[in-house]
Amino acid sequence: MSRGFSRYWLHSCAIILSPLDTNFRGCAPVRLITWNINSVRLRIDLVRRLIEEQQPDVLCLQETKTPDDLFPRAEFAALGYRDMLVHGMKGYNGVAILSRVPFGATTTRAWCARADCRHAVVELPGGVELHNIYVPAGGDIPDPQANPKFAHKLQFLDELTAWFTAERAHERLGGRPMIAVGDLNVAPLETDVWSHKQLLSVVSHTPVEVERLGALQRAGGFVDAIRHFVPPEQRLYSWWSYRNRDWAASDRGRRLDHVWVTPSLVGSLAEARIHRDSRGWDRTSDHVPVMIELNG
DNA sequence: ATGGTGGTCCTACCA
């Protein structure tokens, strides 16, 4: 086990950090990537390529589409990712957190009284709680009465919002630093989609979804770590549909994948990047990796 | 206005 190193890491942080300024200062920089991989078994070679090129310390995957006993653990272990939280099921959904920095407590959560595998939580060094979330896509019709998938999406966001609200109200947990990443399946800003007007009634950019995502963000006290670096006037996408002849030429993208951090971590943010190039890789996911780096 | 592609696992369902 990596317990010894983990304890050392936490200890070395604790010396430098004051309780009111809990972040990664004093530790090595941490590079974190989130990627909706759309089948981790089919695309394990592309994950390997991403790792070799970008060297993330922590990798959060969504849509792994793999039961836990078939998850390619050996491949990740061989690449140095000794700590893994794998939470998958047959055929659909599935999230995983792979880490080169040892993590502490791990949890998985279920919402909307379903067995879906959409939420994994680990504690990173410095007491930072990392949430990896895969929000339901919501189907085609943006009406919760007519479309149960859309109702599920809204309920999922509402339940998460209520949970983060309760957590932050908790005296002992309220000030804890958090990172939330994942495929949130909502593009909140006008510049997070290729055409605000044309997508106003398209699931992922409807006002009701944008409002619910905003409520979730406020409930956790989260800052959008990507928009921290990129002004809202600038277009930014992390997903391009497979149903386009030429994704790059038409560039009809949406920013569905997000990295949020709580305010005490904002000062540690060193970089944010969306790896658009990977959308051009052979047989890749329709989502691209989104990365942040937190300073040591 | 419609259908366009790609994943899982074999038939329809999901994105």
CA distance A83 to A68: 14
Q: Which residue places its CA closest to the C1' of nucleotide B6?
A: A242
Instruction: Give burial (CB, 10 Å; 0-12/13-18/19+) of A66.
Output: buried
Band the pLDDT of A227: cuts 50, 70, 90.
Answer: very high
Position A296 scores a pLDDT of 78
A5 CB and strand B closer than 7 A: no
Does pLDDT of A201 surpass 60? yes
Comparing CA positions, the residue from A156, A132, A125 lying closest to residue A62 is: A132
Amino acid at A2: S
Domains of chain A: 22-294 (3.60.10.10)
Comparing CA positions, the residue from A252, A25, A221 lying closest to residue A126 is: A25
Q: Which residue places its CA closest to the C1' of nucleotide B9?
A: A91
Measure A25 CA to B7 C1' (Å): 41
Structure tokens at A33: 């990537």
For residue A268, the SS3 value is coil
Position A25 scores a pLDDT of 56
Least confident of A8-17, A127-136, A214-223, A245-254: A8-17
Position A24 scores a pLDDT of 61
Position A61 scores a pLDDT of 98
Does pLDDT of A2 surpass 90? no
Does pLDDT of A12 surpass 80? no
A6 CB and strand B closer than 7 A: no
User: Tens digit of pLDDT for each residue in A14-30?
Assistant: 333 433 344 465 678 99
Position A281 scores a pLDDT of 98
Comparing CA positions, the residue from A175, A285, A197, A187 lying closest to residue A227 is: A187
Position A26 scores a pLDDT of 62
Measure A39 CA to B7 C1' (Å): 7
Whole-prediction pTM: 0.92
Nucleotides of chain B in contact with protein CB (under 7 A) are: 3-9, 14-15
The mean per-residue pLDDT over the stretch A253-281 comes to 98
* Dihedral, CA of residue A23, residue A27, residue A28 and residue A33, to nearest 10: -30
The mean per-residue pLDDT over the stretch A213-218 comes to 98
The mean per-residue pLDDT over the stretch A96-108 comes to 97
User: Angle formed by the axes of helices A148-169 and A207-220, to 10°?
Assistant: 20
Buried b (16+ CB within 10 A) or exposed e, A179-198: bbbbbbbbbbbbbbbbeeee
A38 CB and strand B closer than 7 A: yes
A39 CB and strand B closer than 7 A: yes
Amino acid at A295: N
Task: For Cα atoms A118, A121, A122, give the angle at the middle one, nearest 5 degrees.
Answer: 150
Does pLDDT of A181 surpass 70? yes
User: Tens digit of pLDDT for each residue in A230-249?
Assistant: 999 999 999 999 999 999 99
A41 CB and strand B closer than 7 A: yes
Measure A245 CA to B1 C1' (Å): 18
DSSP A112: T
Position A28 scores a pLDDT of 81
The mean per-residue pLDDT over the stretch A176-194 comes to 98
For residue A259, the cross-strand partners are A181
Please state, rounded to an integer, the average pLDDT across all residues of chain A: 92
